[in-house]
Structure formats: structure tokens, C-alpha cells
Copies of this chain bind each other. A is one copy, B any other.
């Protein structure tokens, strides 16, 4: 209300680093956010946009309108602009693209033509390419005079006449060489060119394995079209590890700033699937109502067996999903690793069988009952190892992300087989 306080607030936000400004905007409740956004209109730092959570960015679009939003997008680097336009729904995307200057629109549309999560999306088009016959002196003189160079760069890409990358010259090497040295003699030829269609997960693995700082991106014809730097890959690495962790729990995203209804909607699907698996498990128990009626102790003890199986299975599953992501686990050592997990299940199964059997015996002073619990525990630990390895390996084989194997399916198997083992063994040997 107070114009002085308004100006003060605006100046304070404009003085913040864009990441902190984004954080502040995210944390405000809806009313205050609307007030702040209306204050910032006209002086909004476009760098804030890519930092915002999807749900919060939506409210910025609503507050600013298509024309102002397009003007902000136009100010950003091409990779950020593509990211923002890609994260709009179809109507919004058309409306924003329409309001962009012709050249920006063409660049963004070209960026969007590359597959999601491909090198084409990740790369920066801005780079410095020089011909191989140049000397150090040629390059330095040209760099001093040239316009339209990227703001920051750490290397020159040396290309052949058809614009295919031959090597790169680091600026530190360029600075220390003599003017008459040829770039060809100076360049590092150990390039790992990345195809423009390569998936970001593969790119992240390549960077990590090779300790790369940057890589040239080439099109089908092998021509240099962009470059990917380690800082682009950092986000991918973080995202991929986060995705695995969230998928294992049946989440699509944390969505800290999504409202309760949207969050509930993203989770209910998975919980409904889980209700289906839980009903299957219950129907297994239902087969043994007669046994349970005669021996109600089984209802008390059987969750112990299913719970341990579920947790051991989740341990194996998590290790397998992580191993597949880092390529420590792959087709050529899958059998050996499964054999190892089986051994682990067997060893821990014996320990837990003894402990659980002892507990059952102390509780009910019934040795045959204790024997059934112990045997069921051992069996379930072996099942947990097989399922925990088998489900993610099978999914990977069929090209499905192994993290969606999620504890839900593994737990369903260990629950079903845990209850089946306790109740089945009891029916056979105790009645």
C-alpha cells in the first residue's frame, strides 16, 4: 500500500542473487507472492525463472501475462529459454512463442525439435570454433577483434573445413604458447564427441567416467553444433539420482511447492496400485482362514516374517537399482551378483531365522510353531534376494526404468510368499 515500502521491497529483491530471489518467491504464500510479483513487474530478473519450481513459475506466468513472460524468455540464453518454453502446456507454449521475436522463436523451436533429455536440449550453441591451419597468433588476434563471442569460454574447438571437430585448445595452453605455434600442434585430440541425440543419462555417465569438463556435440554428419559443459551435467546427475530415489518410493517429484490437492493426485495412482497388491496379499491369507481359526498365534507372528522379507528385499532392490544406474551391475555380471545376493540372503536368513524362531518359542513355548516361523523366515529371505535382484534386472532387460520396480512390487512378493510360507507350513505340519 505504502509506495515507499513498496519501492524498498522491490529494491531489496532486486539486490538479491537470482537463486535467493527465486527462493524467496517460492516461500511466500500466494497472496504475498502476488503482491511481490506485481511490484517486480518491469524489473524482474529473467534468470530467476529457470530456478523456480514448476508450480511457482506458473503463478509468475499468470501474474505477468504472455507478452511480458515472452520478453523475459527472450533475454535468456538459448538453453534456459528452451527449458522454459518446454515446461509450458500447449496453449501457453503457442501463446508465448507467438510473442517472441522471430530469431529467438526459430532458435527455441529448433531446440524443442531435439528429443527430451537429449544432448541437443542440454547443449549450448555458443562456442568458439577455429580452423586447424591457424597459428596461436591468428587465434589471439581474432579473439581480440571478434564480436558475438560467448561471454565466457575456456577452450577453442579446432575444426576441419567441413566443421567437424578435430581437437580443442585450452585457453591456458594458448596463453603459454608462442605466437607462431600452429593450433594443430597444440590441440588436445582426446575429444569425446557426443551425438546430438545422445540421452542425458548416457552423457552424465560419460562425463563421470572420463572426468570430462566439456565435450563437443556433433550432428549426424559429424559437424560441430554445440558443446556441453560439466555444469550442465551437474543438474542431470542430481536429477537422475533424485529420480531413482523418488521412483523407488512411488513418487514422481517432491513438488514441495505444489498444493495439497495436486500432490495428493500425483500420489494416489501409486497408492491405488498398492491397494491392489495388498488385496492380492490378503487373498493369500484368506485361503488359510481355517488354519488361522485353529492357531491364532500365526496371525500374531506372520507379520514378522513378511516385514523382514520386505526390508531385505528393499535393500537388495536399492543396491541393484543404484548398481544399474552406475553400470556397476550389468548383463555380464548379473548372474554372479545374483548368486552373491542369494548367499547374502541365505546367511542373514539363518541368523534371522534363529532369532525369530527363538522369539516365537519364548512367546508361545511351542517348538513346532517356532520351527515353522524360522523356516518361513529363511525361505522369505531367499525369496527377497531373488525378487530384489530379479525384478530390476528384468525391467532393465525390457527397457523399463528399473527404479519403477519400486518397493511396492518387491514388497508384494515378499508379503505374499512370507504369509504363504508361514500359513502353508503351519497347515502342513501343525494341524
- Cβ-based interface call for A238 (8 A): yes
In the complex, which of the residues B257, B267, B289, B322 contacts A312, with contact meaning CB atoms closer than 8 Å?
B267
Knowing A271-B352, A415-B303, the reply to whether A242 touches B322 (Cβ < 8 A) is yes
Q: Mark A143-185, 1 if CB is under 8 A from B, else 0.
A: 1100001101110000000000000001111111000000000
Q: Is the CB of A260 within 8 A of B314?
A: no
Count of A residues near B, CB < 8 Å?
113
**Interface presence of A115 (CB below 8 A):** no
B285 touches A303 (CB 8 A): yes
A140 within 8 A of B: yes
Contact mask for chain A residues 261-282; partner B; CB cutoff 8 A; 1 contact, 0 none: 1011001101110110111011
A285 touches B271 (CB 8 A): no
B318 near A249: Cβ-Cβ < 8 Å: yes
Option from B143, B246, B256 in Cβ contact (under 8 Å) with A328: B256
State whether A231 touches B260 (Cβ < 8 A). no
Chain B residues within 8 Å of A29, by CB: 336
Q: A63-71, A102-110, A341-349: which lies at the B interface?
A: A341-349
Q: Is A231 in contact with B251, judged by CB distance below 8 angstroms?
A: no
> Which of chain B's residues have a CB closer than 8 A to the CB of A174?
175
Closest 10 CB pairs between A and B? Answer: A241-B241, A260-B343, A249-B318, A299-B299, A171-B171, A256-B328, A245-B245, A264-B347, A278-B307, A278-B304
In addition to A251-B319, A264-B344, 8 A-B residue pairs with Cβ atoms within 8 Å of each other are A53-B328, A153-B172, A230-B234, A249-B315, A251-B318, A263-B340, A293-B296, A311-B411
